[in-house]
Each structure stands twice: as structure tokens, then as C-alpha cells.
Chains A and B, each alone.
Chain A
């Protein structure tokens, strides 16, 4: 059965810290891996990764895929209170996005 596992499930850090969120997967037909941020309602798209070892970067956020290890990490540097959210990882496989349970990130001022 296809599955996506995120860790940790929750994380509390102080403003300015750097965090690393993990996503591992076991799917039958990997096409791509996606990261989303969910604050109130709709998840918003962050990154899509298809090639191993190539880092995607947007401001203080970056992500990289390791196809050999079947995993991806999302890094957030110099965290701000506005980064508090649930971060979701999904894998594109057989026409379907398979979602992890998410990591709830809380940034304390």
C-alpha cells in the first residue's frame, strides 16, 4: 500500500531557529513530491520536486529530494511567527496525490 510518512508530527521552536521537516515515502509509481503549507484553510503550494539532489529554494524555505533514500526534507531558516502552520508533503503516484499527516510547526516569539 502506498504511504507517505512525515516527521516530526509537531515541532515547537523559537523565532530565528532553523527547522528541518522530513517526508519519506513508499509508492508504486513515483512521479513527483510536493510540499504545501496550511495555515487556516486551503493548503498553499510551496515546491514540487521531481529530480533527486536538486534543491528548490524560495526565500528562507528550501527543499531537496533524495530518490535513493525515498525521502525529502523541507528546511526553513531564520524562522518567523508567520511560519507557524501545518506543512504537508504529498507524492504524485498513479494519478493520485498521496498525502502525509503533516507536521504542525509552532514558532514562539
Chain B
């Protein structure tokens, strides 16, 4: 059974650009969450989608947005990139609301 797949694995962008990250959950999982992780920081919650609906959103500016498709795949978009957006972005999928989450390998975003 394939795990959570995130693409791309690495990305370098310049300030002001926008970026789209992709996450394919484990087959059958309908919940997808996104997290930002910077050195020395824990997992900062961005948002969670379940059956194409955003159920929760973390405390991030409106430049961060996401969506989920009918096949449960999810995308995250960051517009007008800032240097501080450089981080590891992790996606996790769950079968249901009270089950364990499985993480992808992450996308390492560097903004220069």
C-alpha cells in the first residue's frame, strides 16, 4: 500500500513568487492536513481538509491557501513568497477523525 506522496521534494523560489505543493494521501484516507516546520519549531498547523471541505485552519496569513479534490488529493498554495516561508512543509493523511495520521516525506521550500 503506497504511503503519502508529496511533490516536489525540494523547491527554490524567489521572493514575491507563488508556489503550489501537492499531496496524495494513502488510498482510502479522506482527511489531509498540512503543516509547516522550521528549524527548532514544532509542527505548525496550516489547515485540514476532509471530503473537499476545509474543517480547520491554523493561524497563518491569507497568502496560505489550500484545496482538496474529489480523489482526496490536496494542494497547498503560497502566494507572494517571503524569506520566512522557507520551511519543510509536511502533509499528513488520516482515514477518520480519531485515527492516526501518516506523513509524507515533505517538501523543502527555500525562498531566496
| A interface, CB within 8 angstroms of B | 31-32, 34, 41-45, 48, 50, 88, 90, 92, 94-102
| A–B Cβ pairs within 8 angstroms, 12 of them | A31-B98, A32-B98, A34-B100, A41-B88, A42-B103, A42-B106, A43-B43, A48-B99, A48-B100, A88-B43, A96-B45, A101-B42
Candidates B43, B90, B97; contact of A31 at CB < 8 Å:
B97
Contact check: which of B48, B56, B99, B105 meets A42 at CB < 8 Å? B105
Q: Which residues of B are interface residues toward A (Cβ below 8 A)? A: 4, 31, 33, 35, 41-43, 45, 48, 50, 55-56, 88, 90, 92, 97-106
**What are the residues of chain A within 8 A of B99 when measuring CB–CB?**
48
A18 to B4, CA, bound (A): 33
Measured between alpha carbons, how far is A100 from B41 in the docked complex, in Å? 10
CB distance A88 to B45 under 8 Å? no
A95 and B50 contact, CB distance less than 8 A: yes
B101–A100 contact, CB under 8 A?
A: no
Chain B proximity of A106: nearest CB distance (Å): 15
